[in-house]
Chains A and B, each alone.
Chain A
Amino acid sequence: GENVEQHPSTLSVQEGDSAVIKCTYSDSASNYFPWYKQELGKGPQLIIDIRSNVGEKKDQRIAVTLNKTAKHFSLHITETQPEDSAVYFCAASKGTGNQFYFGTGTSLTVIP
């Protein structure tokens, strides 16, 4: 089955700096890679996703890159703000109807 690894487990950055979270996956058949933000006591919120036919996707301060050859994908947050502080999860899926395999999460703290 699929194995998703996520690094780092914790990350602290100064407000305004960039944050990068990396994930690797094992199953080359995976073709959908979403990123979720989870605040304390709440459910995960989809923030960005990418499919295997695209190498990069950007939405304002958030971007995701995918390297299919190396089987890794990364979340980039620029100009970080205190409200970006949360736990971020990556996931991999083989597509429609298939389950998500989640990474172990990264606790991001943005220091004002």
Chain B
Amino acid sequence: GAVVSQHPSRVICKSGTSVKIECRSLDFQATTMFWYRQFPKQSLMLMATSNEGSKATYEQGVEKDKFLINHASLTLSTLTVTSAHPEDSSFYICSARDSSGTGGPDTQYFGPGTRLTVL
């Protein structure tokens, strides 16, 4: 149980294009999902908290117009990197909180990540 999927796993795009990354909770409903960014050999940096049916809350320094987050259902959140540039290349990881699971309301389950490369 408590499986989170991400799609795509890898994406390569040209500078200036937009890329959408999907995060799905497969066997539970997630009222809250989180989006992280991870640079090589570094820790996870929280970008935003996504609540179903409401606007995402962005961390300081994260451009909300560049990283569009939509959480339209209890099992799906999307991150769209708009007008991507090489500096946006990174590993993007989502997580979902299973508030009704046996792990308790605090537990977050992570997706496998999406490797974005902007040329």
Residues of A at the B interface (CB closer than 8 Å) are 32, 34, 36, 41-46, 49, 51, 89, 93, 95-97, 99-100, 102-105, 107
Stretch at the interface among B61-69, B76-84, B104-112: B104-112
A36-B105 contact given A41-B115, A43-B6, CB 8 Å threshold:
no
CB pair B107–A49 under 8 Å, yes or no, is yes
CA distance in complex: A95, B112 (Å): 24
A-B contact pairs, 27 of them (CB 8 A): A34-B107, A42-B113, A43-B4, A43-B113, A44-B44, A46-B107, A46-B108, A46-B110, A49-B103, A49-B106, A49-B107, A51-B104, A89-B43, A89-B44, A95-B105, A96-B105, A97-B32, A97-B97, A97-B105, A99-B46, A99-B49, A100-B34, A100-B46, A100-B108, A103-B43, A105-B42, A107-B41
Which B residues touch A103, using CB under 8 A? 43
The reply to whether the CB of B117 lies closer than 8 angstroms to some CB of chain A is no
The reply to whether the CB of B21 lies closer than 8 angstroms to some CB of chain A is no
CA distance in complex: A41, B113 (Å): 8
CB pair A99–B105 under 8 Å, yes or no, is no
Chain B residues numbered 22-53 whose CB sits less than 8 Å from any CB in chain A? 32, 34, 41-44, 46, 49
CA distance in complex: A100, B96 (Å): 12
CA distance in complex: A97, B108 (Å): 10
The reply to whether the CB of B99 lies closer than 8 angstroms to some CB of chain A is yes
Q: How far is the CB of A107 from chain B (nearest CB, A)?
A: 8
The reply to whether the CB of B93 lies closer than 8 angstroms to some CB of chain A is yes
CB pair A43–B43 under 8 Å, yes or no, is no
CB pair B113–A46 under 8 Å, yes or no, is no
Which A residues touch B43, using CB under 8 A? 89, 102-105
Q: How far is the CB of B82 from chain A (nearest CB, A)?
A: 23
Q: How far is the CB of A93 from chain B (nearest CB, A)?
A: 6
Q: How far is the CB of B112 from chain A (nearest CB, A)?
A: 5
CA distance in complex: A45, B110 (Å): 7
CA distance in complex: A97, B30 (Å): 11
CA distance in complex: A64, B23 (Å): 30
Contact partner, A42, options B44, B107, B112, Cβ 8 Å: B112
